[in-house]
């Protein structure tokens, strides 16, 4: 009986194609890093696009933010859902007040120069 339990804990090489000693191998760590590594880039691009949707092209940059949030969520990132909601809200603000925000930016940048 002990033999069956110990072989069950190690894993069966016929099922997985490799023998598992109960330790986390380098392959598992690399796969986990690769699957979660891209979500940070998606989040950064998404938040930049969401903020840009306040001033210019809210439909374009807002949708880019939403898409990046969905891609980040698919990579098991917890920041994807807030990015989606944030992009929708900032896109709505950009649609309603985008012309006012752009006028303020133009006026502020001309005074600074």
What does the pLDDT look like over 53-69, one tens digit per residue?
999 999 999 999 999 99
Sequential DSSP letters for 50-98: HHHTTTS-HHHHHHHHHHHHHHHHHTT-TTHHHHHHHHHHHHHHHHHHH
- pTM metric for this prediction: 0.64
Please name the residues in contact with 85: beta carbons below 8 A apart, sequence gap of 6 or more. Answer: none
Instruction: Please provide the distance, in angstroms rounded to a whole number, between the alpha carbons at the two ends of the chain.
Output: 82
pLDDT in tens, 3-32: 555 444 455 545 555 555 555 555 555 445
């Amino acid at each position: 009986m002990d033999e069956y339990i110990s072989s069950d804990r190690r894993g069966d090489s016929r099922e997985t194609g490799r023998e598992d000693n109960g330790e986390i191998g380098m392959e598992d760590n690399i796969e986990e890093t690769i699957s979660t590594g891209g979500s940070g880039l998606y989040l950064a691009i998404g938040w930049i696009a969401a903020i840009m949707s306040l001033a210019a092209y809210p439909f374009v940059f807002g949708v880019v933010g939403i898409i990046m949030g969905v891609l980040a969520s698919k990579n098991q990132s917890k920041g994807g859902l807030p990015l989606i909601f944030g992009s929708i809200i900032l896109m709505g603000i950009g649609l309603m007040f985008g012309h006012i925000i752009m006028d303020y930016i133009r006026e502020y940048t001309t005074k600074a120069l």
